C-alpha cells in the first residue's frame, strides 16, 4: 500500500468506507477514547473540523480500548457520547486496535510511515494524531499530549 486511499475502514454505523472517499483532503486521524484524560481534545478536534473543513480538512476518529480500558462502550454508546458531550460532527469509525496482532491495517501503515519518538512504532496512548496531506501521504505524527489547536498551523499549511 502506497497511500491512505488504499485502505478502508468500518464507520461507527457499521458501513465499510473506502478512504479514497477523502481523496484530495487533508486528514487528521486520531485514536480516541471517551474516558481518558485527553478526552476533552474532542472539543479541539471538532473546532478544527468546523473551522477548516470547508478548506479541505477531515478529522477521522477511531475509538480504541487498548489503553487502560478507556473506551469500553459499544458503537452506539460511543457515537452518542461524542455527539451529546462534544457535538462531534466529523466522521467516527468502529472501535479498533492500534497495536498488537489485531491492529487495524490502517494504523499499522500509519505507524510505519510516521514512527514515534526514537523510531518507536507503537501508539503510546489515546489521542495520538497522524496528519495526512492531500495526496494521501503521512506528514507528521503527534503525541497524545499535543492539543489539536497546536496542530492548526501545520494543517493550514496543507490546505
Three-class SS state of 35: coil
CA 15 to centroid of chain Cα atoms: 17
Strands 129-132 and 138-142: antiparallel
DSSP 80-142: HHHHHHH---S-BB--BBSSSTTB-HHHHHHHHHS--GGG--S--STT-EEEE-TTS-EEEEE
Contact 103, 64 (CB under 8 A): no
List the catalytic residues.
36
Contact 129, 155 (CB under 8 A): no
Amino acid at each position: 500500500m502506497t497511500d491512505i486511499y488504499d485502505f478502508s475502514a468500518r464507520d461507527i454505523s457499521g458501513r465499510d468506507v473506502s478512504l479514497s472517499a477523502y481523496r484530495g483532503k487533508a486528514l487528521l486521524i486520531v485514536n480516541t477514547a471517551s474516558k481518558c484524560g485527553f478526552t476533552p481534545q474532542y472539543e479541539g478536534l471538532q473546532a478544527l473540523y468546523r473551522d477548516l473543513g470547508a478548506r479541505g480538512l477531515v478529522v477521522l476518529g477511531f475509538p480504541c480500548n487498548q489503553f487502560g480500558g478507556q473506551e469500553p462502550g459499544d458503537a452506539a454508546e460511543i457515537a452518542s457520547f461524542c455527539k451529546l458531550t462534544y457535538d462531534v460532527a466529523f466522521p467516527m469509525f468502529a472501535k479498533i486496535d492500534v497495536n498488537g496482532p489485531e491492529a487495524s491495517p490502517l494504523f499499522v501503515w500509519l505507524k510505519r510511515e510516521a514512527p514515534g519518538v526514537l523510531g518507536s512504532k507503537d501508539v503510546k496512548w489515546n489521542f495520538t494524531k497522524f496528519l495526512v496531506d492531500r495526496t494521501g501521504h503521512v506528514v507528521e505524527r503527534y503525541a497524545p499530549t499535543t492539543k489539536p489547536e497546536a496542530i492548526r498551523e501545520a494543517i493550514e499549511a496543507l490546505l
